[in-house]
Amino acid sequence: MGQDLSLRSLLSATLLPSNEARILLAHLLDKHYQLPRSALLAHDDMELNEQALEDWRALESKRLQGEPIAYLIGKRGFYSIELQVAPGVLIPRPETELLVDIGLREIQRITKETEAAQVLDLGTGSGAIALAIAHEAPSAIVTATDQSSEALEIAKSNAKHLGLESRVQFMQGNWYEALGGNALFDVILSNPPYIAHQDPHLTQGDLRFEPISALTDHGNGLTCLETIIQGAVNHLKPMGLIAVEHGFDQSQQVSRLMSNEGLLNINHAVDLSGHIRVTFARKASS
């Protein structure tokens, strides 16, 4: 008697948590059969063909070794868009959506008073922040930078897939150096690498598989935040807003960096666990 290779039996035999196994199988049903996720229930007696089965075994074993689901299926939802992700970019996180919310609120305010808001996303990675903003705010003019050419390739491909390639200008380089000039922005947003180099989280979970340069500054965790905050005054219009993501225990240091630069109205946003994860402030009006 042949082995039972139905979806139901694969699901019951796997060592993966069932929600994870379902995500991976749904991905394979789409890839090999163009079937929706509901087929996992509706056709749970279906047997995978040889190619799909081979893919399943490979994905299952990679996931058991800890590879992030987003890299295995090559995509991740962020805000109102879906992004392609690969090991050359950070996997976008829900807390980063706080930056998008703050940016959009400010864009709305500016658009009422003047014309199109100029927005800068420093260290765009997959393009998450820049593309979510461009998608939600059709009038905003968005610039996105990254040091990594691999990341920029992925970000540009995401822009194309989302039909936003004419809305976002991508520039390569280290933080503000990428701009190659003194362009001024209404809003600067950034989720820089802020994990300290000896932080044990770097050797745990998904982080083990993500680009190290996207996670840590190889220092105390504050060096990139410092560069971004110190450069903000030179790249913001009067009353312009800067918002940065940071670690749960860095808000006081980030606030201090901002006040040292003369930034005003320093404020915070908290993530779903109640931790302060974003700090924002304004440049003075003159």
129 near ligand GLN, rule: CB under 6 A: yes
Shortest distance in whole angstroms from residue 181 CB to ligand GLN: 22
CA atoms within a 13 Å half-sphere pointing along the CA-CB vector of 96: 25
Q: Which CB atom, from 124 or from 255, has the smaller least distance to ligand GLN?
A: 124
Q: Which CB atom, from 7 or from 90, has the smaller least distance to ligand GLN?
A: 90
224 near ligand GLN, rule: CB under 6 A: no
Q: Determine the size of the site formed for ligand GLN (CB under 6 A).
A: 13
Which residues share a beta bridge with 44? none
Write each residue from 189 to 208 as x if it is in contact with ligand GLN (CB under 6 A), else as -, in one continuous string. --xxx---------------
User: Whole-angstrom Cα distance, residue 190 to residue 198?
Assistant: 22
Shortest distance in whole angstroms from residue 270 CB to ligand GLN: 17
| Torsion angle in degrees (nearest 10) through CA of 57, 90, 163, 243 | 150
Q: Which CB atom, from 235 or from 277, has the smaller least distance to ligand GLN?
A: 277
128 near ligand GLN, rule: CB under 6 A: yes
Shortest distance in whole angstroms from residue 124 CB to ligand GLN: 5
For the range 26-29, what are the long-range contacts, defined as Cβ-Cβ under 8 Å and sequence gap of 24 or more? 27/59, 27/72, 27/73, 28/52, 28/55, 28/56, 28/59
Residues in region 66-125 near ligand GLN by CB under 6 A? 90, 92, 96, 123-125
- Residue with the CB atom nearest ligand GLN in the bound state: 125
232 near ligand GLN, rule: CB under 6 A: no
Q: Which CB atom, from 59 or from 130, has the smaller least distance to ligand GLN?
A: 130
User: Whole-angstrom Cα distance, residue 263 to residue 273?
Assistant: 27
Residues in region 14-33 near ligand GLN by CB under 6 A? none
Mapping DSSP to helix (H, G, I), strand (E, B) and coil, where does residue 187 land? strand
User: Whole-angstrom Cα distance, residue 229 to residue 248?
Assistant: 18
Q: How far is CA 74 from CA 31, 87, 124, 154, 246, in A?
A: 12, 9, 17, 11, 26
10 Å CB burial of residue 71 (0-12, 13-18, 19+) is: buried
Contact positions vs ligand GLN (CB under 6 A) = 90, 92, 96, 123-126, 128-129, 191-193, 214
